[in-house]
Structure 1
Amino acid sequence: MTVFIQLIFRLLSVLPLPVLHAGGWLMGWASFVLSGRYRRRLLANARQAGLSLRTALVSVGESGKMVAETPRLWLGKPMRMGWEGASVVESALTHGSGVLFLTPHLGCFEITAQALAQRFGERMPITVLFRPSRQPALRDLVATARERPHLFTAPTTLAGVKQLIKALKSQQAVGLLPDQVPPAGQGVWAPFFGREAYTMTLSARLAQTAGVQLVLIWGERLSWGRGYLVHVRPCPVEGGLSRDPLIAATQINQAMEALVRECPAQYIWSYDRYKTPHGLAATDAGTARSLIDRPVPPDLHADDT
């Protein structure tokens, strides 16, 4: 089975991107039509964020494209990509310290790390955090396929976190998705699009490592398989993140919201962002939720310049 799945991935990796996106669009809509659970979650999350039905429906096909393009991104030839805001990365490099790149489940987040490694890797290698696949057939493939020259991976384990810290202290770059729901005990309840969501504290802890520069980034998927456009934004929090875990998590969530608003149709609204992690007792969740009433800074928006 492992060999068969890897063979399928390698066959798909040679297909042109327009073909993969067309097939992914169909696959996304098939999932939306056939799975009531998938459909209800996507529409509920989009409605929570105030999206129109039209935008929510456009996201159905985009989510399918995200799945279909994965084999090409992991195993295929380099993709066509452009940049908007690359000067922000150049500015961060001048500080001579580690750089933390944050991106939500928006557009093609796989391409952001590849783009950074390709353009800036010789001066600043990047390590990205990833969650190992639960399927043995994909575990080894996921662990190795993402690596490129100057691009390394770290699993969501204690050893992986230590690897990230070491990279930052070595004046390298780290990339992660802060809107990924962490395991119980590794997050706080903080608002995300007006609803409390269990939010990781790791991103804030890494950002508070001495001298680390915080940069926001996301990869826009261009229409008709024309490639990708990498958008970079400076840290939106004047004076840096708060030392209070809840306030810092809220600041990061607000920054992620600002990125999602740039292209809401390419956010993965089907992701179970508001779930309660396994092992988090109801009493613990209730206590954590009550903290949302504490005062937090006003909404923060990423600088679009």
Structure 2
Amino acid sequence: MRLLFRFLASLSLATNHALGAFLGRAVFVLSPRWRCRTRENLAASGLARSDDELQRLARENAAEMGKGVTELAWALFRPPEDVVATVVDEDGWEAVEKLRAGGKAIIFVTPHLGGYDIAGRYLWSRLPILAMYRPHKIAWLDDLVREGRNRGAAFDGTNVAPATLAGVRMLLKHLRRGGCTVVLPDQVPGEGEGEWSEFFGRPAFTMTLVGRLQEASEAAIVFCYAERLVRGQGYILHYTALEEPLGSDKPTATRRVNAMVEQLVRACPTQYLWGYNRYKRPSGAPPPPVAAGSR
């Protein structure tokens, strides 16, 4: 598998993405479970105005998800300078520069949209980033990801904190010193780490980590994603800085986070991870709230 990842990284970005698009379409056809979940989540989002548009979005999304898989190898095993060079434009970077000039720590909130692995590697190259990492359940994949992420790492060999209470303490210490971190806000958290909050009109168990980190560190929050351009032409990074803190009320904070993720997804709907089981109830979590109309 390591040889496969290195092979994918050796390809041009255009060829890597072409292969990924083919594989993504194949999986969409061959996996009824993935296909049904993608269509179900897209349909519930209200982004498609007709069944034809829904089918088109689902097919385009399948290709984009395939690109996301093959570009993971590109992001992790290509020389860091090659990865940085794929970012051909930045929309909103001036807001980041202003925050950094004022000495602000920044929490970059990056959903599963576009080239999120590329976005993380790019930010890593420009800012003092410390990110949390939860080990993958598949051991060999975890080993590959760790090996790739340690390429170009900090002088002490790592820019990664474990996804534990000790890791949260490391993040807070880093942010209070003026550092930055990257958080994926749309992963389903574990018991005691989330709140049910509306996401595209449905209750989704949403992590409270973003709000807790900001409240404890007074860091700024910047939402960002890497828009994947056609034919391997690179990426455009989009940044949106929140002007006001999320606040200490957890339901309000999580709803604001989800609303911002929705805003980004609406701008680039085919590149979101619609096949992810975003609305599942994790073990130990309370049941989702019952809509008033369904009682």
Q: Please list, as runs of the form range in 1=range in 2, the aligned pairs for 1:57-206 lying within 5 A after superposition.
A: 57-77=59-79, 78-79=82-83, 80-81=86-87, 82-118=89-125, 120-121=126-127, 125-147=128-150, 148-150=152-154, 152-206=159-213
Give the equivalent residue in structure 2 for 1:12: 8
Q: Is the 8 A contact 1:63 1:268 kept in 2?
A: yes
What TM-score does the superposition give when structure 1 sets the normalisation length? 0.86
CA displacement, residues 71-103 of structure 1 (integer Å, 9 cap, x when unaligned): 111011322112121101101102213110001
Counting only pairs closer than 5 Å after superposition, residues 276-291 of structure 1 correspond to structure 2 as: 276-280=281-285, 284-286=286-288, 289=289
Aligned partners of 1:159 and 1:143: how far apart in 2? 19
Q: CA deviation at 1:129?
A: 2.5
What's the secondary structure of 1:126's corresponding residue? coil
Partner residue in 2 for 1:258: 263
1:41 aligns with 2:37: yes
Question: Partners in 1 of 2:229 and 2:149 — Cα distance?
Answer: 21
Cα offset, 1:219, TM superposition: 0.4
Distance 1:187 1:45 in 2: 21
Unpaired runs of at least 5, structure 1: 294-305
Query: How far 1:278 sits from its partner (Å)?
Result: 2.3
| Matched residue type, 2:146 | A
Alpha-carbon distance between aligned partners in 1 of 2:68 and 2:57, rounded to the nearest angstrom: 16
Cα deviation for residue 241 of structure 1 reads 1.0
Alignment correspondent of 1:215: 222
Q: Give the aligned partner of residue 252 of structure 2.
A: 247
Letter matched to residue 112 of structure 1:
A
Q: Give, in angstroms, the shift of residue 149 of structure 1.
A: 4.3
Give the direction of change, closer, same or farther, for the CA distance of 1:242–1:211 in structure 2 (3 Å limit). Answer: closer
SS class of match (1:185)? coil
Paired letter, 1:24:
G
Q: Which amino acid aligns with 1:160?
A: G
Does the 8 Å contact 1:58/1:265 carry over to 2? yes
Contact 1:132/1:142 (CA < 8 Å) preserved in 2?
Answer: no
Deviations along 1:47-92, whole A, 9 cap, x unmatched?
1111221223211100110001111110113221121211011011
1-structure distance, mates of 2:179, 2:130: 8
Q: Distance in 1 between matches of 2:103 and 2:147?
A: 29
SS of the aligned residue for 2:279 comes to coil
Query: In the alignment, is the contact (CA less than 8 A) between 1:108 and 1:219 conserved in 2?
Result: yes
For the 8 Å contact 2:18–2:67, the answer to whether it is kept is yes
1:55 to 54, 57, 72: 57
Matches of 2:222 and 2:110, distance apart in 1: 9
Unpaired stretches in structure 2, ≥5 consecutive residues:
49-53
Paired residue total: 277
SS in 1 for 2:130: strand
Q: In 1, Cα distance between the equivalents of 2:164 and 2:108?
A: 19
CA deviation string 1:133-168 (max 9, x = no partner): 112212222223124345722232222222211211
The DSSP-based 3-state class of the residue aligned with 1:243 is coil
RMSD over aligned Cα, in angstroms? 1.7
Task: Supply the distance in 1 between the matched residues of 2:198 and 2:112 (Cα, whole angstroms).
Answer: 17
SS of 2:240's partner is strand
- More off after superposition, 205-214 vs 59-68: 205-214
Output the CA distance in 2 between the equivalents of 1:16 and 1:167: 36
Name the % identity: 39
Q: Could you tell which deviates more after superposition, 52-61 or 144-153?
A: 144-153
In the alignment, the residues of structure 1 paired with residue 141 and residue 153 of structure 2 have an alpha-carbon distance, to the nearest angstrom, of: 21
| Secondary structure at the counterpart of residue 230 of structure 1 | strand
Matched-pair contact (CA < 8 Å) for 1:167–1:173: yes
Q: Deviations over 1:203-230 (max 9, x none)?
A: 1101222431111110011110111111
Question: TM (normalized to structure 2)?
Answer: 0.89
